[in-house]
A = this chain, B = another copy of it.
C-alpha cells in the first residue's frame, strides 16, 4: 500500500543523507544534494522530514544505537565462562564491524560527532555515556578477575580505545587488512603491547 512506499522513500532519503553527511559533513551537505541522490526535488524532502536537523538527529541516533547494540549482542552471545579478555576482544571486533561494515550511520556518527549542533549533542549524551559506561564495565570486570592491571585508569583508557577505533574509519583499507584481522591486531596491541618478548608471555 501507499504507506509502505512512503516508509521506503523515507529510508532511502535517510540513507542518502547519512552517506553525504559521512562524506562531506553536515553543513557542507545541502538538501539539494540529498534530493538529487534519491532523484527528487529539494522541496519534496520536507514531505518526509520537518528539517535538515531532524535528518541529522535520526542519522546520529541510528549510528550510536547500532554500535551499542552490535557490541552488547556480541558480548552477550558469548558462553558464560568466557574469560574477560575474550569478552573485550569480542567487543573490539564488534565495534570495528559496526563502524566499518554495517552501513553509513555508524561511520557518519564517528566522523561528524565533534561538529554536531549542541542541541543534538545534548540529546545524544545519555546514549553515548551509557555506551562508554558499558566499556568501562568490561574493563573493570577484567580487573576484578585479575586479568587486567588494577592500576589502569579505566575511563581514560576507554576514551583512548574507543577514539582509536573511531579514527580507523579514516585510514582502514579493507583491501589491505580485513576487519577481523585488524580487530585482532588492535586487541593484541592494547592488551599485550608491542614490545618484543622472546619468552612469549601474555
Q: Which of A21-29, A41-49, A61-69, A74-82 contacts B (4 or more CB under 8 A)?
A: A21-29
Contact indicator B146/A160 (Cβ below 8 Å): no
B residues near A147, Cβ cutoff 8 Å = 195-196
Q: Which one of B85, B143, B153, B185 contacts A156 once the chains associate, using CB atoms below 8 Å?
A: B185
Known contacts A27-B28, A156-B185; A114 and B170 CB within 8 A of each other: yes
In whole angstroms, what is the CA distance A193 to B196 when docked? 12
Interface residue from B24, B160, B167, B193 paired with A202 (Cβ < 8 Å):
B193
User: Contacts A163-B171, A170-B163 given: A194-B185 contact, CB under 8 Å?
Assistant: no
Given that A163-B168, A167-B167 are contacting pairs, would A202 and B195 also be in contact in the complex, using a CB cutoff of 8 Å? yes
Q: Are B191 and A177 in contact (CB under 8 A)?
A: no
Which residues of chain B are near A153, meaning CB under 8 Å?
177, 185
**Given known contacts A171-B163, A195-B149, A157 and B25 CB-to-CB distance under 8 angstroms:** no
A164-B160, A186-B160 are contacts. A194–B27 as well, Cβ < 8 Å? no
Tell yes or no: A192 within 8 A of B by CB. Answer: yes
**Contact residues in B for A28 (Cβ distance below 8 Å):** 27, 115
Closest to A197 in B: B201
Q: Shortest Cβ distance from A172 into chain B, in angstroms?
A: 8
Interface flags for A156-182 (1: CB within 8 Å of B; 0: not) read 110111011011101110001100001
A148 contacts the other chain (Cβ, under 8 Å)? yes
Q: Flag whether A133 is at the interface (Cβ < 8 A).
A: no
Say whether A190 faces chain B, with CB atoms less than 8 Å apart.
yes
Specify which of B115, B163, B170, B177 is in contact with A25 (CB 8 Å cutoff): B115
